[in-house]
């Protein structure tokens, strides 16, 4: 193979990797709204949606927020998870009825599979009934998340 062909192949691979990296970076941290705000787990027919969501996550329903719960999936090896936990904790502390709940997936691959967690941090935004309103892969873009939390807390205070 002539050296020009090898050079063209190398440049094409470099270009493809660059485009892929830019696309992945553009999607990371973006708030992706969930269609219809479906409950996170409907397996328990007799339980409330919030109880079902708590059971699916393996947590006490009392750990959910009155209006919103920010569920952060982390692992022990995640370098961006501590900073994300601090930001989500600050957002929850400054917003009435909002709680931050961090779940370590390091030793629980079944839970990661159940919630289709492919990267950490991954954050789910749940309402008081346990319905998922949004999902964020990677460190959240705080301006988008604050806007979502504000809109959901306004909506729940109007319906209450």
The verdict on pTM exceeding 0.75 is no
Indicate whether 139 belongs to any domain. Answer: yes
Q: How far apart, in whole angstroms, are the C-alpha atoms of residue 121 and residue 140?
A: 9
In the predicted model, is pLDDT for residue 113 greater than 80? yes
Indicate whether 72 belongs to any domain. Answer: yes
**Which CATH number belongs to the domain containing residue 89 in this structure?**
3.40.30.10
Read off the pLDDT of residues 22-81 as tens digits, 9 standing for 90 and up.
666 656 666 666 675 444 444 434 446 667 778 888 888 888 888 999 999 999 999 999
- Say how many domains are in the chain: 1
Domain that holds residue 72: 30-159
Indicate whether 151 belongs to any domain. Answer: yes
Q: How far apart, in whole angstroms, are the C-alpha atoms of residue 73 and residue 145?
A: 16
Indicate whether 25 belongs to any domain. Answer: no
Indicate whether 149 belongs to any domain. Answer: yes
């Amino acid at each position: 193979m002539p050296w020009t062909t090898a050079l063209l192949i190398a440049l094409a691979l470099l270009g493809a990797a660059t485009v892929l990296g830019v696309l992945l970076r553009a999607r990371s941290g973006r708030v992706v709204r969930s269609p219809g705000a479906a409950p996170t787990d409907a397996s328990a027919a007799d339980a409330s949606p919030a109880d079902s969501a708590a059971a699916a996550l393996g947590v006490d329903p009392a750990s959910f927020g009155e209006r919103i719960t920010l569920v952060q999936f982390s692992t022990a090896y995640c370098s961006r998870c501590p900073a994300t936990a601090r930001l989500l904790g600050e957002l929850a502390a400054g917003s009435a009825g909002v709680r931050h709940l961090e779940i370590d997936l390091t030793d629980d691959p079944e839970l990661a599979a159940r919630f289709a967690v492919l990267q950490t941090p991954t954050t789910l935004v749940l309402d008081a009934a346990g319905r998922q309103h949004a999902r964020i892969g990677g460190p959240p873009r705080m301006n988008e998340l604050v806007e979502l939390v504000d809109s959901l807390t306004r909506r729940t205070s109007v319906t209450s």
